[in-house]
Chain A
Amino acid sequence: MNAPANPIKAPALPSSAAPRTPQWYVRVRDYLVQRTLPPVLIGGALLLIWQMLCSGPDAALPPPTQVVSDTWELIIHPFYDNGGNDVGLAWQMLASLERVAYGYLLAVIAGVSLGVLVGQSTWAMRGLDPLFQILRTVPPLAWLPLSLAGFKDSHPSAIFVIFITAIWPIIINTSVGIRNIPEDYRNVAKVLRLNGLEYFHKIMLPAAAPYIFSGLRIGVGLSWLAIIAAEMLIGGVGIGFFIWDAWNASRISDIILALIYVGVVGYLLDRLVAMVGQYVTRGTSAG
């Protein structure tokens, strides 16, 4: 089919292609200009302002250049281990992440189960919803003294604080998702006579997955917020206590570095849950 067209087209191709810039170059350049340039410009401007504001001799906070020079040892040796609390920032981060992982996973299991119960049973909803609405407004740290009293140990107490912080949005979103399953899907299940288990994993979970994952995303953000605060109080290894320790030793630059790390890890946690959610719920939006 193309054969007769080729002789005409062939000589035209090189002449038209030669002056044109390659396609990939245009795409990369556009991406850099449109996506990478704005944050780099704004970030640079903010660093400059910070540098100017904090460069005076009586400035309370160090400028960015001083932060980098003060914390250079911490930045280049994230995995050092001098025993006790004196370990690198990577270990501090991992200790915090481990607590979050335990508390958050427990919250996911309990939260989704309770959410399913409350979403499925009107009776359970009427009984449990007032309790949930009151308990979810309790600030995470307010649970800490109680859990220390109960567990008599700081490690499970921190995990409990994560758990109790993350569970409410998971319960509430899951139950809303289950209440919002379209009547049509329920009818399909009825006509097919799906049993409880089949209905649960073939209809209920996939239909409610977008709601469940928005709850999971809020939950992971909240638990990362709570762990820093909880660790400041319980001590030991962990990024929260590292910050508190740095404040007691007046190492302001260390605090700033730790805050940047906390922000980046929190962002990555959020992206991770969002990506898992996108993968699991692909195609779930009705079309």
Chain B
Amino acid sequence: MTPYLSIEHVEKRFERNGVSSHVLSDINLRVERGEYISIIGHSGCGKSTVLNIVAGLIDSSSGVVILDGKEVRDPGPDRSLVFQNHSLLPWLTVYENVALAVDKVFKRSKSRAERKEWTLRHLDMVNMSHALHKRPSEISGGMKQRVGIARALAMEPKVLLLDEPFGALDALTRAHLQDEVMRIQGELHNTVMMITHDVDEAVLLSDRIVMMTNGPSATIGEILHIDLPRPRNRIALANDPRYNQYRQAVLSFLYEKQRKVEDLGQRRQSSDSKPQAQARA
């Protein structure tokens, strides 16, 4: 059986001022339809680059990405993105932000009334029906992210790409949104690929966790199957020994096998550039 989404021998080299850096080396991943995949790794390991290659926003240096039998060459609505910084258009209202995507993607296949209904339904799905006519500057960070998720879901993507979607949120809002994403995932059975550096988030949400080694020449280190029944409940799982084993496995990969070895100078540098790295990661 051919996989739904397959990443084959993807490599990425950046050339800057004549200095070439090998960011990704031989990435191979097969994702089944309806699977929820998390990619976890230290910041700067290139996990965002993988996502951007799948999105088509960055070209790989070699290798291919095949989605549903077709090679990915450029960005498109079949791979909708949710960015960490929500990237809603500030001059449009909540409704208009989602409607912009819906009207473009379903311009021919749905009537005007159907598109309106479709937009409203997806905003309702993320519980944002109360703020349809507010602008992004008037709603909280968590709400913006909900709208971003609604916009991405409304495009009816073949694969939903989440780039640290909850990274900029406070812990309570984050937990709340994770639960919502699990609920929506339970209804729609989307194929999801999520970048995260939160171990709990990865274990809670994923069917498989893809752990990446540190760069340069980062690649996939281990893949962990999370065999926990759905729907999952974070409180019940907190005492589940299997949950803790999975957590342990990811932690030991990140902090024992792939611990960042930095000398003092590098550490100072990396702490200086941390906000930037996070924004890009």
Contact = CB atoms under 8 A, between A and B. Distances in A.
B81 interface: yes
A182 to B, nearest CB: 8
A287 B134 CA distance: 12
Contacts of A184: 83, 85, 87
Contact of B89 (A206, A209, A281): A206
A283 B87 contact: no
By secondary structure, the A interface counts as helix
Interface residues on B, range: 20 to 34
23 contacts: A184-B83, A184-B87, A187-B75, A187-B87, A188-B87, A190-B56, A191-B81, A191-B155, A192-B105, A202-B89, A202-B100, A203-B89, A206-B89, A209-B91, A281-B91, A282-B91, A283-B137, A284-B90, A285-B90, A286-B90, A287-B135, A287-B137, A287-B138
A81 interface: no
Interface string A176-217: 000000101101101111100010001100110100000000
A94 to B, nearest CB: 35
A281 B104 CA distance: 23
Given A192-B105, A287-B138, 14 more contacts: A184-B83, A184-B85, A187-B81, A190-B75, A191-B55, A191-B57, A191-B75, A191-B80, A193-B75, A193-B104, A206-B91, A207-B89, A287-B90, A287-B137
B70 to A, nearest CB: 15
Contacts of A185: 87, 89
A198 B100 CA distance: 10
Interface in B103-123: 104-105
Contact of A285 (B57, B80, B87, B137): B137
Contacts of A187: 57, 75, 81, 83, 87
Nearest to B157: A191
Interface of A: 182, 184-185, 187-188, 190-194, 198, 202-203, 206-207, 209, 281-287
Contacts of A206: 89, 91
A209 B92 CA distance: 13
Given A184-B87, A185-B87, A283-B90, A191 B76 contact: yes
A190 B135 CA distance: 22
5 smallest beta-carbon distances between A and B, as pairs = A287-B137, A184-B87, A190-B75, A206-B91, A283-B135
A287 B138 CA distance: 8
Contact of B79 (A191, A194, A203): A191
B90 A191 contact: no
A203 B87 CA distance: 12
A192 B101 contact: yes
Nearest to B135: A283
Contacts of A191: 55, 57, 75-77, 79-81, 155
A278 B76 CA distance: 34
B215 interface: no
B136 interface: yes
Given A206-B91, A285-B90, A286-B137, A193 B77 contact: yes
Nearest to A287: B137
B235 to A, nearest CB: 34
B161 to A, nearest CB: 9
